[in-house]
Structures are given as C-alpha cells and as structure tokens.
Structure 1
C-alpha cells in the first residue's frame, strides 16, 4: 500500500468546517494581532497555519492565489492578505475587523515602548538593550532582502534592473518614486521585447497546493455576491476612501498649516502607501530617504532603533 503523499494527507478531514460568525472571526483576528511576530514572512506563515491547516477557513489554493495578488500591491502584504480574507468571509465589516486588529495591538505596544525609549533611552540598561537588538534587526532585513531577491530576480535582466535601482538610490540619491517609475518602465519594455525573461511566475505552491481537507472558501465555493465585480461599487468605495482621506488632509492643513510636521507626515505616508511595491520591507529605503535625509524627522540611529522596536513587536 502506497503511503499518502504530503499533498493529500491521509488524515485530511472529509467535511468542511462549520460556518464562522463575525464574532468568532473577531476573536481570531484579535489573537492574530498579538501573535504575528516574525515580519511579513512569519506573519504569512502563521496565517497559513491557522487559516488553511488548522481552521480550514480558506483552501491552500485560494490562500496562495490571494497572496500572489497582495505581493504585487503596494504596502504590507500580510495585512492586505488578512484584510482580504476577512472581507471575503464577512464583507466590509470583516475586512475592517481583520485589517484593524492586525495592527492595533502592535500600535499600543509600540506607543508604550516608544515612550520608554524617549524617557529612558539614555540609561545604560535600555541603551544596551537596543545595541543588542540592532545586529539582529540588520540580519532580519538582510534575510528579507535575500528572500525577496531570490524569489523575484530569476535572470540577468532582472538582476540588472535591481543593480541599477541600487546605484540610483545609494550612489545617485535619486528620489524613490523616480526609481520605482523607472523600474516599472524598464519592466514594461522588457515585457514587450523580452517576454520570456519578464513573464510572471507561477503560484507559490510549486508542484501543487497541499490539501488539508474541505475548506469554507475554496475553488468550488460559489463567489459571494459582495465579491462579484461591480463598477458602481468600485466607484462608490473609491469615492468614500477619497473623501475620508481628503477630509483628514483638509483638517490637518486648516488646523496646522501645510508646512506643519503632521501635515507633511500625512502627505509623505500617503505617497508611501502608493509607491512602496515589493512588500513591507520595500518601504524602508523610502522612509529613510524621506524621514531621515529630507525632512530630518529622525536621525539614522533613531530610525534603526524604531525598526528594532517594530521587529520585536507583533503586527
């Protein structure tokens, strides 16, 4: 008798799990907000273990399909993945709960740690703690760069674009948006004239997605009504988002002025939300260039310390 392969575990359940209420999902997303350590890779691994393997709220194939889309969007892919799954399960309320609880616990923890850093950062014990964390943070960032590069840079053409981008940001001090735009143009031209070298790779599952038993959401599940594309809904939601963002910016400008730190931070991170393709770590050079070199909101040491705080907290 041939043993069951890893792709089709013999112990895989045959019946899908019971439907999940919004309240049940709320407590899970809250738990995830407290345990999602390890940066984007660790957070995605935790979600895969909890949502695909243990709870079977979503199938392996649908999970990886969603992750592929999140990887090509600007911004943090792990939070986007959580928001998408929450929205898919419980419409807009589910997306708000999943996305919000993914970051809220770490927000409060970071505020507390930042206060300790500002109030007691000169004490030898606290300073020594940060000096000890910095090498580990450097290793995490280097590992993330290697992981992203080994996955994305599949041939000499792509390595050349990466090298040009590095020269542009490190040696020529070009603005980050200009580098992203230039890389996008080179990618477009490469897709036109060297399509084989610039073809989009397959899914993350390699030879095939593993099966952990029937899931609540899989390829055989009918598309829920709220997930069916609607041009009117897209325009309506885009308008709501624009009004909310514009309202916040108007309040900042009227109350503090355009040149105030709060207003400039709002505008700066709005651009970051649109320009930082490549996952959560792709935002680091943009934030460093803007916050440290251009606006001088932080020193280089303070940014490294802030990154250390971020890497030692969930979310």
Structure 2
C-alpha cells in the first residue's frame, strides 16, 4: 500500500457545517497544485497542516478517512486525497472542482514544456538538458523502487515471490503484465482473508471495489478504428486504473504501451516525458499530459490527462459514502497489498529497462550514481532540485562531449 503519511491522529468531532466556502477550498488546491513540490507524502502532509491544524476546515476523522481510501485505491494518492476532502462538505461539485484545480497548474506546465520540446527539441541546449536529466531520473526511480520495496515487501515470503515474479517479467519482456499484478492481489486476498471475501461477495458488497473496473479496463481495446484520440483515451484510462503504491507505478505500464506495443514514442522521448513530470509540481502521473501532447497536440494532452485521472476520481467519489462502513474489511487490505507488491516489482523491472536506454556512457552513469548518492545521504533533498542541477550540468558537459 502507499506509504503512511501520519502517525497518530487524534479523533475529534466531525463538523456538520462547512466553515469555508467552495471557492476558498478550490483556490487553496489551485495554489497547492502550483507550488506543491515534494511528492504525494509531502502534499498530503501540507493538506493536514493547512486544512486540519491551521484552518480547521476539515476534521481529523474526515482526513483519516480520505487518507485511508486514497491508500487503498488505485490512483495518485495526493490527488485522490484532495478530491475526497473536496467531497466532505461540497459533495460531487466540491470533489470535481478541487480535482480540476489541483491538477490544472501542473497540466499547463507540462503542455508548455511539451510545446517547447516539439519546437526546440532538436536544438543542442534541449538535448544537453535531457542528456543529464534522463540519467538522473533513472537514479530517482531506482531509489524510489528501493524505498517502496523495503516498505511494501519486507520479509514476507508470499510478497517476495509476487514481487520477484513481477520484476523479472517486466525486465525480461520490457512490458508490464496487468494480469500478473491482479493475480498478486487475488493470491494475497485468498491466503489472508478468504472467508470475509466470500461473505461479502454473497452479500453483494464490493469488498474489492477496484477489481471490476480494473478487469474492464484490462479488456478494453487498446486500439480502435475511431482514431488516435480514442486510442489515447482508452490506453490512459487503463493506466490510471493501475497506479498502485506510488505515482511511479504508472511508469512501467506507460512504457509497455507507449514505447513497446503502440510505438508512439521512442525510449528516449519516454524518459524525457518522465523527467518533465519530475521537475513540475503535482503528481508524477501528469507525465501523461506531456505524452499526449507529443502524440496529438493540446487535444491529445487534454484527453490523456482526463483519462488518467478519471478512474482515480470515480474510485474516490463512488465508494466515499460507504467507506466508513466497509473500508476496513480485511479483504480490501489484502487485495491491495498484493496488487501494490506486484506494482512495485514492475517499477523495479522498469528501472532496468529504462536504465539501458538512458545510461550509455560514463557521464550518464555518473549522473545516475550521484543522484542515488544524494537521495541516500540527504533524506530531505527535493527531487526537482536534483533535476534542475542535472540540467545545468548537462548544459555544460554535453557540448564538451559532442563538440
């Protein structure tokens, strides 16, 4: 599951009436989406500090419920938590407007960078930036995979088996198997909580709410006859339904579909897309907006971003009313634990696949190693700072190597 964000949270009386306007909370998330660097855990903590502790707009119980639902469901954790907090007092309209406000700033940024990439991608300075940044991104993903592995898998043999199977499959085939990841969830569910699962199934309670949508997405056509935009919508909808454990979980899935299967981008363009997501605020999955722009301009970027966030939005607002009652069922936790383990294994395999494309000489190897060392030594260092530093060094080193 996703990393726990807070320790002990005190229980307080749930406010019945909003002490803030819809406009106020929408503007708060617009601001957070503009300046919110640091990843999902940092963003979730900002929400707690600002909305629970300081402004007292959201009760601690409501925050806990939103955090738990976000950790158990697929999708970018911070975005889902924001959507849930918008839902608390203003229901569907609040959830919708907060979700849009939170994602809009980073979407505008990646579209702007996408335009510059298309217009000036052939220039030496742009090549120099991504020469260094692409290698640093591999270091960041490798460190994230290490942290996720230690927190998710641990020393549980069942999880280790699922993790290694997914990692090896991804590395060897250079693609992510959704069936394999879902199988991991089902195996853990059957081992850890079969009686509860069977009881809930008979009662008609969707104890594993993500599975019907996930299987439907998995069977949806990846290519259709109605054009590239429709293909983009279907593919990124499936991608958004499988972002378990971390926003980086989407990387191997995207690589498999965008580079290997559909051949929309080459490997270097894909690594550049991930790099763009790293240097902008907001969730890593916003990289889909950049990819969509490269495929079909602004309309492609819009459809890719909307399709990616749609499953997360639906899997937040639909179960929200029932989550207090059914959210702590052992079967839900068991299924998500297995799926998350498989997703982390896929991320680990993707590090090997992407590293082979981005690390091809001594300088790129050094960029990746130094990035790993900085993240290991300085726990609180911000990834965007590392990326920006790599970009500056790339502007200096690349011309010297290619003069």
TM-score of the superposition, structure 2-length normalised?
A: 0.55
What is the Cα-based RMSD across aligned positions, in Å? 3.1
Who is 1:271 aligned against?
Answer: 238
Higher relative contact order (CA 8 A, sep 6+): 1
What's the counterpart of residue 96 of structure 1? 96
Report the structure number with the largest CA radius of gyration: 1
Corresponding residue for residue 70 of structure 1: 70
User: Going by fraction, where is helix more abundant, 1 or 2?
Assistant: 2
Is 1:293 aligned to residue 255 of structure 2?
no
SS of the residue corresponding to residue 52 of structure 2 reads helix
- Asked whether the 8 Å contact 1:86–1:95 carries over to 2, the reply is yes
Q: How many residues align?
A: 247
Structure 2: runs of 5 or more not aligned:
1-6, 197-203, 205-212, 214-219, 283-403
- What is residue 160 of structure 1 aligned with on the other side? 161
Partner of 1:151: 151
| C-alpha deviation, 1:81, in angstroms | 0.6
Secondary structure at the aligned position of 1:293 is classed as helix
Shift of 1:112: 0.8
Any idea what the Cα deviations from partners look like across 1:123-157, whole Å, max 9, x if unmatched?
Answer: 22222222232243223322322332222223332
**Residue by residue, what CA displacement relative to the aligned partner does 1:239-272 show, whole Å, maximum 9, x if unpaired?**
xxx9xxxxxx9xxx9xxx6263222111111222
1:121 paired with 2:121, answer yes
Distance in 1 (alpha carbons) for counterparts of 2:18 and 2:89: 13
Structure 1 segments of 4 or more deviating over 4 A?
Answer: 6-9, 172-175
Give 1:209's aligned residue: none
SS at match of 2:264: coil
Q: What is the match of residue 299 of structure 2?
A: none
* Partners of 2:101 and 2:140 in 1: CA distance: 24
Change (3 A) 1:57 1:259: same
Identify which range, 177-186 or 97-106, moves more after superposition. 177-186
Change in Cα spacing, 1:55 to 1:136, as seen in structure 2 (3 Å) is farther
Unaligned segments of structure 1, at least 5 residues: 1-5, 10-15, 196-230, 232-241, 243-248
Do the aligned partners of residues 18 and 259 (structure 1) sit closer, same or farther apart at CA in structure 2, a change above 3 Å counting? closer
CA 1:42–1:137 in structure 2 vs 1: closer, same or farther (change >3 Å)? farther
For residues 30 and 49 of structure 1, do their structure 2 counterparts lie closer, same or farther at Cα, with a shift above 3 Å needed? same
Measured after TM superposition, the shift of residue 278 of structure 1 is: 2.3
Tell me which residue corresponds to 1:313: 280
